[in-house]
Amino acid sequence: MKQWKKIIRDCPYLVVLLITWLFMTAGGIALMIYRDYNSYRWETFWTNPFFTVIMEEEKSTVRNSYNVKSIGENINKIAHAIKSETESAMAAVMENSMDDEPEPAEEIIIGQTHFTTYTPVEIDSIYYSDAGKVALTTDYPYTTVGEDYFDDAVFFGDSRTLGISDYSGLNADFYCENGMTVFKLLDEKGVKSQETDDKVNLNQVLQEKKYGKIYIMLGMNELGYGNTEFFLNQYDSVLQQLRQWQPDAVIFLQANLHVSRQKDNPATEFNNININDKNAAIATLANGTDVFYLDINPLFTDNEGYLNDDLTFDGVHLYANGYIVWKNFLMEHGVVRGEN
């Protein structure tokens, strides 16, 4: 007995393990008797009295490993399904997005104002020089329009514009008179309205009424008033002011009509070289988007650039039927935004 006490005192852990082994073995035997009494082979107890319970735990562990594997496979399947659904949903969203995309903005066409060049002659004048080039009508895909296109148009000019007002039959506003210049157009003294025959201040008119088109033809009465650069600066100033008051209007800068051979006088400032110098300067202000240069001269001049004698009664102004031709030219050069 003393020996057992000594063993217990010296080896307490061994005793705990021994007692644990006895309880587990007894528990295993009890479990086998309870669960497997009829099928258990008792001869195996002597060779393996304990490991039945341990083997049950091992089987459970193997079974759990199978379960983990199955769960992993299921997770992969679920992930694959989710990925497929996600890709399908994204494809549907992309397709719908493409269907809902707004139409691309319409391409803005920019017209080009071209010049033909020639060898200039030497001019001894403080008012002008030979430009050495002729401005052509701004190259642009113009639209042929009806007379109603001019219902929201306004014309500014001198006596030739007055002829358009009198003989074209266009239902537009005309502010023009004999002797009008680019220096007087916006003057507070006013310009004559061809509708009321009264002088009106364009500074007020152009801030009260909106126009869709503006036609300008000025420069004839400025031939001997300052040089071409001075003229161009004033013309540009007027153009910028019109643009400020009428930001949505299309502006047409009309070339000044040439004069006949009898009226062309190189000894003075009243000649076609000077007119061409002014026209070439005006054409540089066209931008091809909302400001266009129109040259009517090819319809009325000969091969040398002189106004045809049979089209004019004084070498400067057209007969009445010439303004019908002028109107038709303007109708063939309409700019309709949203169609081009």
Kindly state the tokens that stand for 303: 């091969």
| Residue 269 identity (one-letter amino acid) | E
State mean pLDDT over 54-66.
43
Q: Looking at the predicted structure, is the pLDDT value of residue 48 above 70?
A: no
Q: Looking at the predicted structure, is the pLDDT value of residue 328 above 60?
A: yes
For residue 26, what pLDDT is reported? Answer: 76
How crowded is the C-beta side of 94, counted as CA atoms within 13 Å?
6
d(CA 182, CA 162): 15
Report which of residues 44 and 160 the model is more confident about: 160
pLDDT per residue as tens digits for the range 268-281: 999 999 999 999 99
Confidence of residue 197 (pLDDT cuts 50, 70, 90): very high
334: Cβ contacts below 8 Å, ≥ 6 apart: 142, 143, 144, 145, 149
210: Cβ contacts below 8 Å, ≥ 6 apart: 152, 246, 248, 249
pLDDT per residue as tens digits for the range 249-303: 999 999 999 999 999 999 999 999 999 999 999 999 999 999 999 999 999 999 9
Q: Looking at the predicted structure, is the pLDDT value of residue 322 above 70?
A: yes
State mean pLDDT over 33-44.
50
Kindly state the tokens that stand for 205: 């008119």
Confidence of residue 56 (pLDDT cuts 50, 70, 90): very low
212: Cβ contacts below 8 Å, ≥ 6 apart: 152, 153, 248, 249, 250
Q: Looking at the predicted structure, is the pLDDT value of residue 309 above 90?
A: yes
| Residue 33 identity (one-letter amino acid) | I
How does 161-178 read in b/e, with b if 16+ C-beta sit within 10 Å?
Answer: bbbbbebbebebbbbbbe
For residue 60, what pLDDT is reported? Answer: 43
Q: What percent of the chain has pLDDT over 70?
A: 74
Confidence of residue 202 (pLDDT cuts 50, 70, 90): very high
- The DSSP H or E segment spanning 23 is helix 12-36
Confidence of residue 86 (pLDDT cuts 50, 70, 90): low
| Residue 139 identity (one-letter amino acid) | D
**H helix intervals, the chain:** 2-10, 12-36, 44-47, 51-100, 159-167, 202-208, 228-245, 272-283, 320-331
State mean pLDDT over 39-60.
46
| Residue 22 identity (one-letter amino acid) | L
Q: Looking at the predicted structure, is the pLDDT value of residue 338 above 90?
A: no
Q: What percent of the chain has pLDDT over 90?
A: 67
Instruction: Judge if pTM exceeds 0.75.
Output: no
Sort strands 191-192 and 173-176 into parallel, antiparallel or unpaired.
unpaired
Kindly state the tokens that stand for 173: 């506003």
For residue 22, what pLDDT is reported? Answer: 80
For residue 57, what pLDDT is reported? Answer: 45
Sort strands 173-176 and 153-157 into parallel, antiparallel or unpaired.
parallel
SS (H, E, C) 103-157: CCCCCCCCCECCEEECCCCCCCCCCCCCCCEEECCCECCCECCCHHHHHHEEEEE
- Whether the CA torsion 216, 231, 280, 140 is positive or negative: it is negative
d(CA 281, CA 228): 7
Are the beta carbons of 68 and 249 closer than 8 angstroms?
Answer: no
- Name the DSSP class of 311: G
Confidence of residue 95 (pLDDT cuts 50, 70, 90): low
325: Cβ contacts below 8 Å, ≥ 6 apart: 299, 300
Q: Looking at the predicted structure, is the pLDDT value of residue 171 above 80?
A: yes
Report which of residues 129 and 58 the model is more confident about: 129
Kindly state the tokens that stand for 11: 């080896």
What is the chain's alpha carbon radius of gyration, rounded to the nearest angstrom? 50
